[in-house]
Amino acid sequence: MKNKMKSQKILLLILILGCLSCNNIAKKTKTEDANDKQVTKITTGKMKFEYIGRAAENEGMHVWGSSPIKGKDGKIHLYAAQWSTKTQPENFSGWFKDCEIGHYVSDNPEGPFKYIGVAVQDKDSLFNSPHNPTISNIDGQYQLCFIVNENNDLKTQRIVMYVANDLSDNWRPAKGAEADGTILRQTKDSTVWNYTARLGVSNPSLIKYKGKYLLYHKSVVRKEPKGYVYSYGVVIADAVEGPYVHKPTRVTEEKMPLEDAYAFTMKDSVYLMSRDFRGSLGNRGGGLLWKSGNGFSFPADKTERSYEDLLHYVGEEHLKDAVSYRGKKDGHLERAQLLFKDGIPSYLYLATGVQVKPGYGSSSHVFKISFE
């Protein structure tokens, strides 16, 4: 009898330990939501994403990505790329031809968001199609970084930094930038990692870390013996408005390509949340979470899967009549941008080219973040 009781206790202990280890396994639950009829929660590691619904959208427009910030007015402001659905509808190329940056605002991170106007206009020619904005508030000042090109030529992509003391859209070029706000161009230094970039520099993300200012950026560089790879690097400054100096080596590994990385700090580490561009840890519609102890190296072996594609959260029934303006109907989620509360990520905003709402182009979606 004693041996039997002992065996039962051992079995119970094994079951308890097994349940505790389940905390790092992906799990799903579903509840009802008035907007999108369904809310899905997924846990990946210690971060949970709860799908809330659509965030920034604009009738007759594509809205691509939306970067959030809490203003001094207590409201949540989104800065998003946008262009008419009538522009190059067959190939979605309006993003680098006729884009502008729109400004949306809400009393709540979950919306609804109201469109209040154009924050950065498309000036065509040498300051063409401002796109992929990211907003930050560092040292009590707002920074709006985005990309432009020259005359629809993707090889000329560069990064602009505007700054302001409020969110009234009275932006000025950063002091360390060129006259038009250009803070970073493709390098002419052959010793820098992205000297061979074929599409310039793009998709900025700005943080302050250990007294320095780090501006992360993407380049598509040559891959030996042939081809190209999407990688990230960083430039560094002693002041937020620059000037910025290249770190010669890339910060991500060639074997794991990425796109649309958003940088943030938490507990003395630096993280990138990015699109899983080549499906390294799942399908290409989801994302990756990279971790670095110094901000200059994000090892592939420490990188985890983060979010999934839109289909994963809303289900096939929700998307059965959807229009796909970009990618497949599973809804690739791109342009990760985070809203923080007390220094902790609280909401995630993502873009997709799939739309279920008639009369609207692509729109951004919002997810609530929690931690186990």
DSSP strands (E only) in 22-122: 28-31, 39-44, 47-54, 61-70, 76-84, 100-106, 114-120
- For residue 105, what pLDDT is reported? 98
| Residues ≥6 apart with Cβ < 8 Å to 31 | 38, 39, 41
Decide if 231 contacts 278 (C-beta within 8 A): no
Six-digit token pair at 352?
């997709």
- Give the confidence band of 372 by pLDDT, cuts at 50, 70, 90: confident
Residues in the chain: 372
**Torsion of Cα atoms, 274 then 278 then 282 then 285, to 10°:** 60
Domain ranges of the chain: 2-371
Q: Say how far apart CA 25 and CA 15 lie, in whole Å.
A: 16
Buried b (16+ CB within 10 A) or exposed e, 288-298: bbbebeebbeb
pLDDT tens-digit map of 137-159: 999 999 999 999 999 999 999 99
Task: Examine the pLDDT at 268 and tell me if it is beyond 60.
Answer: yes
**Residue 21 binned pLDDT confidence (cut-offs 50, 70, 90):** very low
Three-state SS letters, 197-222:
CCCCCEEEEEEEECCEEEEEEEEEEE
**What pLDDT is attached to residue 123?**
94
Name the superfamily (CATH) of residues 2-371. Answer: Glycosyl hydrolase domain; family 43 (2.115.10.20)
